[in-house]
Amino acid sequence: MVNTLSRTNPDSPLETPAAPSVFSSYDLDLAGTLAKLRAWPDLKTVGLQFPDGLRDYAAEIAQRFEGELPGVAVVVNADPSYGACDLALNMQKWVDVLVHFGHTEMPSINHLHTMPVIFVPARHRADVSAVTVKAAGELPGRRVGLLTTAQHAHQLKEAAEALRKAGFEPVVGVGDNRVAGAAQLLGCNFTAGTSVEPLVDGFVYIGSGDFHPIAIAFGTKKPVVLADPYTNEVRDLGGKMDLLLRQRHAAIARARDAKSVGILVSLRVGQERMLLAKGLKRLLEQSGRRATIIALDFFSWDNLQYFRHLDALVNTGCPRVTTDDYARYPMPMLTPQELEIVLGRRSWEDYAFDEFKGTKPAPKGRARVADV
Ligand code: SF4
């Protein structure tokens, strides 16, 4: 069956590659995904899940899938999705397979669910080589640790080759099994960087925005330079880390007198740490404080306002909610490591980011770039 969408909607961004839409910049491999679904045995219902940047196109992609998969129902999950950590498992009662767009697999959580998932990363088309070389020039040595996200991971070989030609030594690390591929950073996991930290003079992060490079900057004392392939600009994080650490210090100070604490547990499959939450509750109670474990799916003040009488929150879910969204909550929100500081079990000098590790440690040493 032909795609009816292109006939009914000639302005569709899916059908007009020159259109100024996300699809002119990203390769989503819709054709490859449809081929996998056509070969799926006895396929009746497909679930689709999108990150924020693609939700505008969700209905259109769903219509295209239904047009190309006769007799198959397509159901879109409209909840926000920020990572492979929040697979829409509540759809598994209806769908034979979930197509999760925008992120790569998180192998460490595969044993926690039985729903088949097809991951469709959004691969950016921009060339990364020139800006990577430019960024490497800002480092104090020639050994360059490369880091990126799923959007640019397919261009690592080109980036490494360009660095070699310019006289640098590219070093690509492999993270633990929370990340799918070499050199990949998550906002909560920088093991692809720390696994090669002793081998590099600094890191070049290929991508845009501060969200991912902040993660590695928390985990290393080596310099981190950002190479933005969208703007071809090179920069560092400026005073951002100092500001973040000052904010964390203030949150810890505000929580010191807390008598009644909420411990947040995420219901999302790749963020859930109930055992840790129970351990923190014991620690709080041993210190004479009251503690309540609060489980929720979507972290927002709308959902948490009913707990406004609590003096502080400790978040065992996505650590970036704690560090990046703290201003949305009137009471201090801490990571588990920050709670240890409040309770006198860790010193401020020993401050550590709440890194979300996989179940298998990262192999130490560099990956062969040929394997990237
Ligand atoms: Fe991203 Fe947070 Fe999920 Fe980590 S836990 S993958 S930072 S959304």
Say if residues 147 and 193 touch (Cβ distance below 8 Å).
Answer: yes
Is the distance from the beta carbon of residue 193 to the nearest atom of ligand 1 less than 6 Å?
no
Rounded to 10 degrees, the C-alpha dihedral 63/69/70/71 comes to -90
Q: How confident is the model at residue 371, as a pLDDT?
A: 52
Sheet hosting strand 312-315, strand order edge to edge: 290-296, 260-266, 312-315, 333-334
Return the ∠ at Cα 226 (arms to 204 and 180), rounded to 5°: 60
**Bridge partners of 233?**
228
Q: How confident is the model at residue 368, as a pLDDT?
A: 54
Query: What is the whole-number distance in angstroms between the Cα of residue 355 and the centre of ligand 1?
Result: 10
C-alpha–C-alpha distance, residues 171 and 200, integer Å: 7
- The CATH number that domain 129-236 falls under is 3.40.50.11850
Q: What is the pLDDT of residues 204-257, one digit of tens each?
A: 999 999 999 999 999 999 999 999 999 999 999 999 999 999 999 999 999 999
Q: How confident is the model at residue 23, as a pLDDT?
A: 73
Query: What is the whole-number distance in angstroms between the Cα of residue 38 and the centre of ligand 1?
Result: 31
Q: How confident is the model at residue 363, as a pLDDT?
A: 85
Q: Looking at domain 241-350, what is its CATH homologous superfamily?
A: Diphthamide synthesis DPH1/DPH2 domain 3 (3.40.50.11860)
Question: Whose Cα sits closest to atom 4 in ligand 1?
Answer: 188
Q: How confident is the model at residue 307, as a pLDDT?
A: 98
Question: Whose Cα sits closest to atom 6 in ligand 1?
Answer: 83
In the chain, beta strands by DSSP E: 26-27, 45-49, 73-77, 97-101, 117-120, 123-124, 143-148, 169-172, 202-206, 224-228, 233-235, 260-266, 290-296, 312-315, 333-334
Q: How confident is the model at residue 120, as a pLDDT?
A: 97
Q: How confident is the model at residue 372, as a pLDDT?
A: 53
Q: How confident is the model at residue 25, as a pLDDT?
A: 81
Q: Which amino acid is at 176?
A: D
Say if residues 312 and 289 touch (Cβ distance below 8 Å).
Answer: no
The answer to whether the 129-236 and 241-350 domains have the same CATH topology is yes
- The CATH number that domain 20-124 falls under is 3.40.50.11840
Is the distance from the beta carbon of residue 188 to the nearest atom of ligand 1 less than 6 Å?
yes
Residue 107 DSSP symbol:
G
Query: What is the whole-number distance in angstroms between the Cα of residue 223 and the centre of ligand 1?
Result: 23
Is the distance from the beta carbon of residue 353 to the nearest atom of ligand 1 less than 6 Å?
no
C-alpha–C-alpha distance, residues 255 and 341, integer Å: 10
Is the distance from the beta carbon of residue 150 to the nearest atom of ligand 1 less than 6 Å?
no
Query: What is the whole-number distance in angstroms between the Cα of residue 85 and the centre of ligand 1?
Result: 6
C-alpha–C-alpha distance, residues 267 and 320, integer Å: 16
Is the distance from the beta carbon of residue 320 to the nearest atom of ligand 1 less than 6 Å?
yes
C-alpha–C-alpha distance, residues 298 and 315, integer Å: 13
Q: Where are the domains of the chain?
A: 20-124, 129-236, 241-350
Per-position pLDDT tens, the chain of length 372 = 333 333 333 344 454 443 446 677 889 999 999 999 999 999 999 999 999 889 999 999 999 999 999 999 999 999 989 999 999 999 999 999 999 999 999 999 999 999 999 999 999 999 999 999 999 999 999 999 999 999 999 999 999 999 999 999 999 999 999 999 999 999 999 999 999 999 999 999 999 999 999 999 999 999 999 999 999 999 999 999 999 999 999 999 999 999 999 999 999 999 999 999 999 999 999 999 999 999 999 999 999 999 999 999 999 999 999 999 999 999 999 999 999 999 999 999 999 999 999 999 998 777 655 455
